[in-house]
Chain A
């Protein structure tokens, strides 16, 4: 299985967490809250588009609202592939971080 990049991982996880409410504005907001990264919509949609192309997410047109200038939302949901990719990523994290509780600068090793 192909490894996810960090940005993909964050994005997929955010979509998963948001469940049914995963469209542009909340996604962007949540990412900002979690990681402090403030994506521009241009960048965000570029990434989402790539996730779509790779088959990690599926798109669904949502309802238009007046404050959106009458434009409909696009909701994102994880596909099976997306879930599996995330699971794999989680497993990988678990393995490589196993037994690490704290990271300090080891003066002995760097001497």
Chain B
């Protein structure tokens, strides 16, 4: 043991080597080993190892100080070179910095957008413990629909049966007229909520007690803005607001509802009031009505992971409490929970536009667009740096001769890229600052840049570093590989490899641009298709006035119709329970020839005989309602073709005269079938609809106009309305706008997408321009010689452009299949969609070719018309 020779621990050796810098480490390691052996033999291995540790730790501080000092010195040199290079080649630097800053700016904007979309509903306390219930509804074993509309007994039953559920509330929506003294306004965003509403949701109450604000029947909580509208300066607490002819006591005032809430409302009524008035009317409490699908239900659990028992219990709750009814009707309703944080973007349940919802597809779309744009800018940087490296080869060679190692050179070029990225980032922030108002307008989101937060600054810095490293990586690798002797002599043998890389990068850039052009073209084609395609009804020149609040318009609808149609500009008028583009109610019915317990739910529309003419529907079989036939208003029904198919009756003619049971087993008779029309947007298939005359539940009057003077007609309509229904405000809209509003989201996205496509094209073109000017410079002599022996300007331009044409064609080859797959995927969102034709692809490819050629034309013409004398005079 005594004189045994022991090697230094490997780690110690490695660390000593690492820390000792550029000096020769052999004698030092030898000394260390010698003393180590000595100490080991005298004091044992522990003391020796401890000694080793001290050997490493002691010089650390001075090591860092030294290292830093030298790095700073070199960095200063690098910085100097970078700025010199920027100044020396302004064009290239502009392309680099402009491209990168645009790319970074786009990334920041998209980051803001995505961050906003992902942070919906996270302002509530413990959002992970809040869930929304969804309904999976089956009629006769077939999936009918997934929706958020639940029957009212679910929430109380869940709360009662499962102690792990802290709170369960129901919400439903309402609209109508609110009145205080002489002020009457239409209120659209009204919700009716259970007393526990504020136990789940953190909407801030300015005054009032969140614990019991909605405990009593006929109480209401309203937002500050709304309170100011009705009560002005006065304290609204305890005042009485009349909503749809029922008085509510104000028990709380809310701060504004955050934008990032999927629930949007101005006024909350206590659900007990609704329960009360419904009980009076129907003599049945809400808790018994298992087939009244009108309530969104939220629960808050004690834990973010609900137990399997709870999940199963909720799933089967209707079977447990209303199993006999399910069997009797042939229906099945099952319930599932989904986290509230998923409600906005990833909900599986349809809320028919009553709550805000986004689309996660677009999130992915935007993130990939941002990545692509940034990639294009990085590629520009890499390409141009390598292309220009010819000019820097001597610099590199000299550095090598003076003793720069490969690592140091690579580091220099990386620093170069990172500095450019830093400059671009600062510019990008400025660009974002100016672009943000427009971007806000486009997205309709309250986006803000928050650079006071250290988090976002660090994020941006990391991002900049990342961008710099990505774009500087290849040039650094490439340039540090050069051989000093060759570089000094100006040999450019390694150029060959660089060319392949450059070419493939340009091809990639154009492939991305072509994908973007094709996609945005097809997206707008689809949107135009949806907006212009024949819906089966006439949506032009139809004015719609909703009946809201009081029952007066319904009772006076005949008088109203008569008065309005007296004007020659109003061709016809029809009242109905709903209009195309709005939601439609459904009823349980049982068509003829179907067993007792196999009822079906069917969309039902209540209207009058003028509906056909007003909306321009076409009859497929039988006849439409008529005022002359008395029985039409009691038991006559009209189907659409889809409903006939759903009932399994085949041809429309077969349906005439058939009967079905409806509403508590009354019998109805089918007198006609109308051709299919799109009641809802083209996202979904044509729905089956049953139409009936009913002088009740009417909510809209629609006027078919033939307008010469729109102002005059509108004022006539308004005056007539005031005459027939004094005191009730008139809020009209036009059907085409209202219907097309269903595509607002797609349109917004499409515009954003277009903008980003333009940006991508510009960046790609800038890169190509830079590359072309570089190549033109390189071929100057060759072109001079060609011209000297008689080449024409045209032939040179041709020759010059040929290269690029080949590149773009190659880019097309790559881009088309990718674009096709992407767009096919997107189009699956729509039940009615365009056919993807080859023409768009060809046109987009040609457009890209044209753009590319235009970009290089300047350079090719310049080199084409250049006087060969100038390029050949000096032989340098």
Contacts and interface: CB of A to CB of B under 8 A. Distances in A.
Contact of B27 (A40, A42, A43, A71): A71
B34 A25 contact: yes
A77 B454 CA distance: 56
Contacts of A43: 58-59, 62
Contacts of B32: 41
Contact of A42 (B26, B28, B33, B37): B28
A66 B37 CA distance: 10
Given A41-B16, A42-B16, A45-B20, A24 B27 contact: yes
Contacts of A64: 30
Interface in A26-70: 28, 39-46, 49, 64-69
B31 A24 contact: yes
Most buried by A among B5, B38, B54: B5
Most buried by B among A42, A43, A45, A72: A42
Interface in B15-73: 16, 19-21, 23-24, 26-35, 37-38, 54-56, 58-59, 62-63, 66
A69 B59 contact: no
A23 B54 CA distance: 21
A74 interface: yes
Contacts of B30: 24, 64, 68-69, 71-73
Contacts of A69: 7-8, 29-30, 33
A68 B32 CA distance: 8
Nearest to B32: A41
A3 B8 CA distance: 38
A24 B54 contact: no
Given A65-B34, A67-B34, A41 B7 contact: no
Contacts of B24: 74
A23 B31 contact: yes
A45 B26 contact: no
User: Chain B: interface residue count, which band?
Assistant: 20 to 34
Contacts of B8: 69
Most buried by A among B8, B59, B66: B59
A83 to B, nearest CB: 23
Nearest to A50: B23
B453 to A, nearest CB: 42
B58 A42 contact: yes
Given A40-B58, A43-B58, A24 B5 contact: no
Contacts of B66: 46
A25 B56 CA distance: 16
B26 A72 contact: yes
Contacts of B62: 43, 46
Nearest to A71: B30
Most buried by B among A49, A65, A68: A68
24 contacts: A24-B28, A24-B30, A24-B31, A24-B34, A25-B31, A40-B54, A40-B55, A41-B28, A42-B16, A42-B19, A42-B56, A43-B58, A46-B21, A46-B66, A49-B23, A64-B30, A65-B34, A67-B33, A68-B34, A69-B7, A69-B8, A69-B30, A71-B29, A72-B26
A71 B13 CA distance: 13
Closest 3 CB pairs of A and B: A24-B31, A71-B30, A42-B59
Contacts of A67: 5, 33-34, 37-38
Contacts of A73: 27, 30-31
Nearest to A68: B30
Given A64-B30, A71-B27, 8 more contacts: A28-B35, A42-B19, A43-B62, A46-B21, A46-B62, A67-B5, A68-B33, A71-B30
Nearest to B55: A40
Contacts of B38: 67
A39 to B, nearest CB: 8
A77 B58 CA distance: 26
Nearest to A45: B28
Most buried by A among B8, B24, B31, B35: B31
A72 B27 contact: yes
A25 B27 contact: no
A69 B16 CA distance: 15
